[in-house]
């Protein structure tokens, strides 16, 4: 394993600039997820590291050595594609051995390393099978074994679970996390799936428009994002437009455009400032009993969506609808039906306030 440093990387295709000036540091053994919407530059970053894209300028250092001029096959990186990219005419063992053969590793060593890699991904009895005879999850594990068998300095995973159904994605998230902890490989995961990034990575780099907007540990990024855009992308949220009515004693009195009055922490806020106001749905407590106090909103349930063990409700207050997430057994298993009158309550520390971007 090795560290990875990207410095002032620029990638453009003609007049279209994909990465204007990207910089990123990944420590030895660290797993970082590049998370962002389609077209934000995640895959271009990954392909630049792998050697499939030639940047206009910048540096990519693996283990302290700039590899920007090296061809892909001399960078010692392992790559796992979304569509697996397995050779259909080769069996599992042959697929896993392919990279070793290209590196002219002795045959006896190839057999041992292939066996070890398949054992790591729990496919040691599948060596003679062909990709068409395997499930999606099994094919993804073959692709992973093929990537790690070459003992890469950096492991790159491009939407590794995107082709799997929900149940398989959950299973593979656990397996990938277990394997990462066991091997300690320096890894970069590209994904547009928030849950996947938050569950797999030690740090998440949130990308917008070819640049890293925020980077940090998953919990920090989720609970304390630095912008309304980041909060909105990282999981479900309710975000209102509003302004600061007053600031006193570290508290900010806020008024939404719909007229709802809220209280949040007031660090760095000025009276009269236009702001975005965000609250995570799971931080809101809902009751049918009347309540009073700060951050208590009386409203009406306009929609209730059953999601198994949880329910998502849309509550309307002062002309604005917001989301509430709650266990389905919170009200005796019956939930709350549309049209019900409710009181929503949340702490001032759960109110995230972001100045309007200039």
- CATH code: domain of residue 342: 2.40.50.100
* pLDDT reported for residue 163: 65
Say what angle helices 92-102 and 136-148 make with each other, to 10 degrees.
Answer: 20
Q: Clarify whether residues 123 and 212 are in a common domain.
A: yes
What average pLDDT does range 315-335 have in this prediction? 79
What average pLDDT does range 211-225 have in this prediction? 95
Strand partners, 254: 244, 262
User: d(Cα 3, Cα 277) in Å, to the nearest integer?
Assistant: 38
Side-chain half-sphere exposure of 295, counting CA atoms within 13 A: 21
* pLDDT reported for residue 174: 79
User: d(Cα 142, Cα 145) in Å, to the nearest integer?
Assistant: 5
Q: Clarify whether residues 89 and 208 are in a common domain.
A: yes
pLDDT above 90: residue 236 = no
Phi, psi of 22 (to 5 degrees): -90, 135
User: d(Cα 111, Cα 124) in Å, to the nearest integer?
Assistant: 12
Task: Report the predicted TM-score, pTM, of the whole model to 2 decimal places.
Answer: 0.88
The token pair that represents 115 in the structure block: 């066996």
pLDDT above 80: residue 172 = no
Q: Clarify whether residues 50 and 183 are in a common domain.
A: yes
Side-chain half-sphere exposure of 17, counting CA atoms within 13 A: 11
Among residues 291, 281, 245, 286, the alpha carbon closest in space to that of 264 is found at 245
Neighbour-count burial of 89, counting CB atoms closer than 10 A to its CB (0-12 exposed, 13-18 middle, 19+ buried): exposed
Q: Clarify whether residues 11 and 122 are in a common domain.
A: yes
Percent of the chain with pLDDT over 70: 97
pLDDT above 60: residue 358 = no
* pLDDT reported for residue 331: 62
User: d(Cα 291, Cα 285) in Å, to the nearest integer?
Assistant: 11
pLDDT above 60: residue 293 = yes
pLDDT tens profile 31-83 = 999 999 999 999 999 999 999 999 999 999 999 999 998 999 889 999 988 78
What average pLDDT does range 193-219 have in this prediction? 94
Indicate the residue among 229, 245, 278 that finishes a domain. 229
User: d(Cα 101, Cα 15) in Å, to the nearest integer?
Assistant: 40
Q: Clarify whether residues 100 and 165 are in a common domain.
A: yes
* pLDDT reported for residue 33: 96
Helix (H, G, I), strand (E, B) or coil at 260: coil
Q: How many domains does the chain have?
A: 2
Strand partners, 25: 5
CA 8 to chain centre: 23
The winner for highest mean pLDDT among 109-118, 163-172, 302-311 is: 109-118
Q: Clarify whether residues 286 and 203 are in a common domain.
A: no
- CATH code: domain of residue 114: 3.40.50.300
* pLDDT reported for residue 230: 93
pLDDT above 90: residue 326 = no
What average pLDDT does range 265-280 have in this prediction? 89
Q: Clarify whether residues 22 and 81 are in a common domain.
A: yes
Q: Clarify whether residues 87 and 126 are in a common domain.
A: yes
Among residues 73, 75, 69, the alpha carbon closest in space to that of 55 is found at 69
* pLDDT reported for residue 249: 84
pLDDT above 60: residue 196 = yes
Indicate the residue among 229, 256, 275 that finishes a domain. 229
pLDDT tens profile 97-154 = 999 998 899 999 999 999 999 998 889 999 999 999 998 888 988 999 999 999 999 9
With contact defined as beta carbons under 8 Å apart, do 265 and 250 qualify? yes
Residue 287, domain extent: 236-355
* pLDDT reported for residue 336: 78
Q: Clarify whether residues 284 and 135 are in a common domain.
A: no
pLDDT above 60: residue 175 = yes
Q: What is the mean pLDDT of the chain?
A: 90
Among residues 284, 295, 280, the alpha carbon closest in space to that of 352 is found at 280
Q: Clarify whether residues 181 and 287 are in a common domain.
A: no
Q: Clarify whether residues 178 and 307 are in a common domain.
A: no
Q: Clarify whether residues 218 and 244 are in a common domain.
A: no
With contact defined as beta carbons under 8 Å apart, do 297 and 261 qualify? no
* pLDDT reported for residue 10: 97
What average pLDDT does range 242-255 have in this prediction? 92
CA–CA distance from 13 to each of 8, 19, 38, 53 (Å)? 17, 10, 17, 10
Percent of the chain with pLDDT over 90: 64
Indicate the residue among 209, 229, 249 that finishes a domain. 229
């Amino acid at each position: 394993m090795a560290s990875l440093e990207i410095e002032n990387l620029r990638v453009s295709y003609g007049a279209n600039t994909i990465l204007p000036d990207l910089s990123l540091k990944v420590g030895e053994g660290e797993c970082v997820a590049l998370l962002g919407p389609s077209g934000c530059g995640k895959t271009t970053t990954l392909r630049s590291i792998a050697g499939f894209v030639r940047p206009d300028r910048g540096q990519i250092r693996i283990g302290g050595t700039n590899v920007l001029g090296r061809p892909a096959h001399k960078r010692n990186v392992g790559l796992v594609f979304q569509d697996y990219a397995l050779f259909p005419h080769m069996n599992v063992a042959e697929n896993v051995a392919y990279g070793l053969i290209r590196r002219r590793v002795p045959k006896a060593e190839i057999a041992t390393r292939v066996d070890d890699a398949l054992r790591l991904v729990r496919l040691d009895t599948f060596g003679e099978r062909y990709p068409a005879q395997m499930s999606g999850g099994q094919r993804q594990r073959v692709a992973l074994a093929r990537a790690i068998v070459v003992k890469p300095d950096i492991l790159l995973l491009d939407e590794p679970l995107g082709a799997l159904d929900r149940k398989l994605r959950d299973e593979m998230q656990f397996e990938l996390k277990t394997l990462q902890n066991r091997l300690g490989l320096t890894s970069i995961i590209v994904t547009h799936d928030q849950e996947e990034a938050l569950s797999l990575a030690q740090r998440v780099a949130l990308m917008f428009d070819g640049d890293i907007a925020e980077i940090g540990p998953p919990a920090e990024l989720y609970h304390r994002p630095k912008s309304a855009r980041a909060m909105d992308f990282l999981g479900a949220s309710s975000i209102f437009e509003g302004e600061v009515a007053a600031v006193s004693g570290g508290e900010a009195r806020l008024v939404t455009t719909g007229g709802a009055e809220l209280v949040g922490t007031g660090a760095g806020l000025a009276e009269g400032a236009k702001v975005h106001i965000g609250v995570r749905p799971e931080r809101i407590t809902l009751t049918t009993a009347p309540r009073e106090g700060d951050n208590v909103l009386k409203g009406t349930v306009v929609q209730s969506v059953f999601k198994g063990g949880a329910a998502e409700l849309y509550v309307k207050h002062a002309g604005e609808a917001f989301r509430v997430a709650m266990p389905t057994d919170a009200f005796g298993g019956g939930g709350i039906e549309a049209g019900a009158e409710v009181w929503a309550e949340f702490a001032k520390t759960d109110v995230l306030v972001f100045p309007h971007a200039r």
